[in-house]
Amino acid sequence: MRGKQAPIRIIVPDSKFGNVLVSKLINYVMQDGKKTTAEKIVYDCFVIISDKTKQDPMDVFDLALKNITPAIEVRSRRVGGANYQIPTPVRGARKHALAYRWLLIAARGKKGKPMAERLAGEIMLAANGEGDAVKKRQDVQRMAEANRAFAHFAK
């Protein structure tokens, strides 16, 4: 590994819910440094969730994140001239990074509605164990399961 490892930054909890996970979501939604716009999108999304589900939006969001976060993934490794997909457990911070990424890709993939509505819809679907983000997680898990025979190549 070259140079020093990047320091892990401490993320300040968001102003409305006081939650680090919501703050992280805001940072992932943010584009071109427009944090207030991202905050508006996320908070509007939580209002939509509370209106439609009649539940606490934080509970729905936590459940959705739990349903999206992967436990295992495949990594490519070259062994003797052939590339193998080796199943490996996902480390702590990467779990959430993948979950947020898949959630936002799924929300941005839908067209025709404002971003807050798309994000709210995807979070509610994920909380119910369906939707594109959960499908992505299941595909990754299935891929790891299919390549379990190559697990002995992992170091």
Nearest CA to 131 out of 118, 114, 112 is that of 118
pLDDT tens digits, 48-98 = 999 999 999 999 999 999 999 999 888 888 878 888 778 888 988 899 999
Cβ contact 55:62 at 8 Å: no
- Quick one: 20-153 is in which CATH superfamily? Ribosomal protein S7/S5 (1.10.455.10)
Residue 7's Cβ-count burial label (10 Å; 0-12, 13-18, 19+) is: exposed
Out of 54-68, 101-115, 141-155, pick the least confident. 141-155
Give domain limits for the chain. 20-153
Q: Which residues, in sequence order, are CB contacts of 90 under 8 Å at separation 6+?
A: 69, 70, 71, 72, 73, 98
Q: Which residue has the higher pLDDT, 18 or 80?
A: 18
* pLDDT at 45 > cutoff 80: yes
Q: What is the mean pLDDT of the chain?
A: 90
High-pLDDT (> 90) share of the chain, %: 66
* pLDDT at 155 > cutoff 70: no
